[in-house]
């Protein structure tokens, strides 16, 4: 199924960190916000890393991201994908990160999940000239034993890269 990215990037002039996923999941597209599946651990992992509650509304999540100088977007603008399976992504067209990079203080880019990392390297690294730091996926599909501790450890790099 052909899917187009419909979510706006979240960033402001003070953003220092850019976190890129692959493309919003079916659930995220339904609710109109990033990491929208109730079992996705993205928001709970950030709560643990920053030791603060984020809240459940889009506004609370945006406030949290901006407070911590974090920008959020995805690598892919459109692609063919089956359900929310990153492994099925074909015919990917990348998003243009130029507006974000030109209007913020982004120095570090993180990618969430193997596919986002691969697609970033393939399509965007030449443009951005910023090597990404790959992070494990917070998707409910990534249910390896001990993943909670791994997520907190790896995602702590975000906090340590903010000035």
Residues forming beta bridges with residue 145, ordered by sequence position: none
- Provide the CATH number for the domain around residue 152: 3.40.470.10
Q: Residue 143: pLDDT band by 50, 70, 90 thresholds?
A: low
Lowest-pLDDT choice from 6-20, 51-65, 66-80, 149-163 = 149-163
Residue-wise pLDDT tens digits, 23-46: 888 889 899 999 998 888 999 999
Vertex 112: Cα angle to 5 and 87 (nearest 5) = 70
Mean pLDDT of the chain: 92
Q: Where are the beta strands (DSSP E) in the chain?
A: 2-4, 17-21, 70-74, 76-80, 90-94, 108-112, 132-135
Matching residue, tokens 């993180």? 110
Strand-by-strand arrangement of the 108-112 sheet = 70-74, 17-21, 108-112, 132-135
Give residue 112's domain range. Answer: 2-160
Share of the chain above pLDDT 70, in %: 95
**Total tally of structural domains belonging to the chain:** 1
147 pLDDT above the threshold of 70: no
136 pLDDT above the threshold of 80: yes
Distances (CA, A) of 84 to 14, 26, 39, 58, 78: 31, 6, 13, 21, 13
């Amino acid at each position: 199924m052909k899917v187009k990215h419909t979510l706006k990037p979240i960033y402001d002039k003070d953003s220092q960190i850019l976190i890129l996923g692959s493309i919003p999941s079916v659930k995220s597209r339904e609710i109109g916000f990033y990491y929208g599946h109730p079992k996705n651990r993205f928001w709970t992992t950030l709560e643990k890393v920053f030791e603060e509650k984020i809240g459940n509304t889009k506004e609370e999540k945006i406030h949290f991201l901006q407070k911590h100088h974090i920008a959020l977007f995805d690598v892919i603008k459109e692609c063919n994908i089956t359900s929310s399976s990153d492994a099925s992504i074909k015919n990917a067209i990348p998003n243009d990160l130029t507006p974000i990079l030109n209007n913020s203080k982004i120095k570090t880019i993180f990618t969430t999940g193997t596919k986002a990392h691969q697609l970033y390297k393939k399509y965007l690294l030449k443009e951005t000239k910023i090597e990404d730091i790959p992070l494990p996926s917070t998707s409910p599909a990534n249910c390896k034993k001990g993943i909670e501790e791994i997520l907190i450890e790896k995602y702590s790099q975000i906090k340590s890269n903010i000035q």
